[in-house]
Structure 1
Amino acid sequence: MSVLRLVGRPLLASMFVAGGLSSLREPEQVAPVAEPVVRPLTDRVAGLPDRTDQVVRLSGAVQVAAGLMLATGRMPRLAALALAGTLVPTTLAGHRFWEAEDPAERAQQRIHFLKNLSMLGGLLIAADDTAGAPSLLWRSRHAARDLRREARAGHRAARAVAGPAAGVGALRAVSASVPKRVVCATRHRR
Structure 2
Amino acid sequence: MSLLRVVGRPLLASMFVTGGLESVRNPEAVTPLAEPVVRQIRERVPVLPERTEQCVRLSGGVQVVAGVLLGLGRFPRLSALALAATLVPTTLAGHRFWEAEDEAGRTQQQIHFLKNVSMLGGLLIAADDTGSAPSLLWRGRHAGHELQRDARLVRRSVQATARPAAAVGGMRAKLSA
Matches within 5 A, 1:116-155: 116-155=116-155
- By how many angstroms is 1:51 displaced? 1.1
Partner of 1:114: 114
Aligned residues: 177
Matched letter for residue 92 of structure 2:
L
2:78 equivalent in structure 1: 78
CA deviation vs aligned residue, 1:109-167 (integer Å, no higher than 9, x gap):
11000000000001111111111111111111101110110111011111111111111
The TM-score, its normalising length taken from structure 2, stands at 0.96
Q: Residue in 2 aligned with 1:18? A: 18
Can you list the C-alpha shifts for 1:38-95, whole angstroms capped at 9, x where unaligned? 0011111122111111111110000000000000111111101110010001001100
Amino acid at match of 1:95: H
Partner of 1:37: 37
Runs of 4+ in 1 over 4 A off after TM superposition: none
CA RMSD of aligned residues (A): 1.0
| CA-CA distance at 1:176 after TM superposition | 4.4
Q: Which protein, 1 or 2, shows the higher relative CO under an 8 Å CA cutoff with sep ≥ 6? A: 2
Which amino acid is 1:102 matched to?
A: D
Q: How far apart in 2 are the matches of 1:50 and 1:161?
A: 73
Instruction: Name the CA distance, whole Å, in 2 between partners of 1:79 and 1:147.
Output: 34
Amino-acid identity (%): 69
Letter in 2 for 1:52: T
2:129 equivalent to 1:161: no
Give the distance between the partners of 1:141 and 1:150, measured in 2 at CA. Answer: 14
Task: Find the aligned partners of 2:103 and 2:163 in 1 and give their Cα distance.
Answer: 85
- Unmatched 5+ residue regions in structure 2? none
Name the CA distance, whole Å, in 2 between partners of 1:146 and 1:122: 35
1:174-189 mapped onto 2 (5 Å cutoff)? 174-177=174-177
CA distance in 2, matches of 1:32, 1:61: 19
